């Protein structure tokens, strides 16, 4: 419990420090781009065999501390396919850094969650989009026998803040309703994002929304806003749902979080910077070479880049990050107040 308070205090300090200097309070480590699923809408994966080593990660964490890190996220690909994941989470805990994993849930088990709990994991995002696997996605792990109970144990015993991440596409509206109700019954926050189009528009046409889907979208937006108003722990802002129609009209009305000082830095398996997880690019900048001056330059570069792609993307994580930036004090207080505490049985 004392270590978790230390990590939360470090996060507050990291964000405060970033308001007066160019630091890196939030860093996403992408130890592997490989994934054990092949969801049709996903472009955050590749078959590149490169992976971080534990020695790489130690060096990156040292650098991250020098850059004022407050939270370390592990993304992919599928980060639970990466062997050193448990040791890396433990290293974050030792250094007083909050840790966060986003996983498709296929590799979660009683033993895996126990090991993550003992390593000191703080947040676990479990992606689930459908009740049963479809031709679009097989992300249905929370409906697997025992997993919800194991997630409740991870939350109640180890203090891991568990949430469900869902992607809403053209054919899974009933599954989204089922997921929202499941999350509510078990007390899990849930994030529901509209599927983000591929930059290859042809690959996205079948599953992404268009103006022709206004009736379906209106029905689902009304449902999500109503549930949110009824106290369901739907993370995404009310404006994110309501403004989807402005997005489909190609209205330029919001600023992607990647161009802001509070935005994340993404570290690839090779140790270079990725401008955006949706683009799967790899810049020439090496993470180990970053300084506050170079972070400042990157922010300017990212902001210029989002001027071009923002109108084509409606990523909920980027939108919510933008909202967080504009409402930072209140958002920080809500985050700290919502952080779970370990039970007496957990010590």
Token pair for residue 347?
A: 């010590």
CB 8 within 8 A of CB 159: no
Q: Which among 81, 99, 102 has a CA at the least distance from the CA of 36?
A: 81
CB 92 within 8 A of CB 70: no
Tokens 């995002």 -> residue: 125
CA dihedral of 92, 96, 100, 105, whole degrees rounded to 10: 60
Q: What is the CATH number of domain 2-339?
A: 3.20.20.70
pLDDT in tens, the chain (347 residues): 568 899 999 999 998 898 889 999 999 999 999 999 999 888 888 888 899 999 999 999 999 999 999 999 999 999 999 999 999 999 999 999 999 999 999 999 999 999 999 999 999 999 999 999 999 999 999 999 899 999 999 999 999 999 999 999 999 999 999 999 999 999 999 999 999 876 555 657 778 898 899 999 999 999 999 999 999 999 998 999 999 999 999 888 888 877 777 778 999 999 999 998 888 889 999 999 999 999 999 998 988 888 878 888 888 888 877 666 666 555 555 555 555 544 433 33
Q: Look at residue 346 in the predicted model and tell me its pLDDT.
A: 39
What pTM does this model have?
A: 0.90
């Amino acid at each position: 419990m004392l270590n978790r308070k230390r990590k939360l205090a470090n996060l507050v300090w990291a964000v405060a420090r970033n308001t007066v200097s160019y630091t890196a309070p939030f860093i996403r480590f992408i130890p592997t781009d490989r994934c054990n699923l092949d969801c049709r809408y996903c472009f955050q994966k590749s078959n590149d065999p490169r992976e971080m080593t534990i020695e790489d990660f130690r060096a990156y964490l040292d650098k991250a501390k020098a850059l004022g890190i407050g939270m370390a996220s592990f993304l992919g690909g599928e980060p639970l396919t990466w062997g050193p994941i448990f040791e890396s989470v433990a290293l974050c805990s030792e250094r007083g850094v909050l840790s966060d994993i986003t996983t498709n849930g296929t590799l979660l088990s009683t033993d895996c969650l126990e090991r993550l709990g003992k390593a000191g994991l703080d947040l676990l995002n479990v992606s689930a989009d459908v009740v049963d696997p479809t031709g679009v996605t097989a992300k249905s792990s929370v409906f697997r026998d025992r997993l919800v109970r194991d997630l409740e144990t991870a939350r109640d015993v180890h203090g891991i803040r568990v949430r469900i991440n869902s992607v809403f596409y053209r054919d899974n509206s009933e599954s989204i309703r089922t997921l929202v109700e499941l999350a509510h019954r078990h007390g899990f926050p849930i994030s529901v994002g509209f599927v983000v189009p591929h930059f290859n528009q042809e690959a996205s046409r079948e599953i992404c929304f268009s103006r022709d889907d206004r009736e379906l979208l209106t029905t689902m937006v009304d449902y999500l806003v109503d549930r949110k108003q009824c106290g369901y722990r739907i993370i995404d802002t009310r404006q994110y749902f309501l403004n989807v129609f402005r997005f489909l009209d190609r209205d330029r009305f919001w600023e992607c979080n990647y161009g802001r000082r509070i935005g994340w830095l993404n570290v690839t398996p090779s140790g270079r910077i990725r401008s955006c997880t949706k683009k799967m690019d790899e810049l020439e900048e090496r993470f180990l070479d970053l300084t506050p001056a170079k972070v400042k330059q990157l922010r300017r570069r990212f902001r210029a880049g989002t001027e071009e792609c923002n109108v084509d993307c409606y990523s909920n994580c980027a939108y919510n990050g933008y909202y967080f930036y504009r409402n930072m004090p209140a958002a920080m207080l809500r985050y700290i107040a919502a952080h779970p505490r370990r039970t007496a049985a957990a010590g």
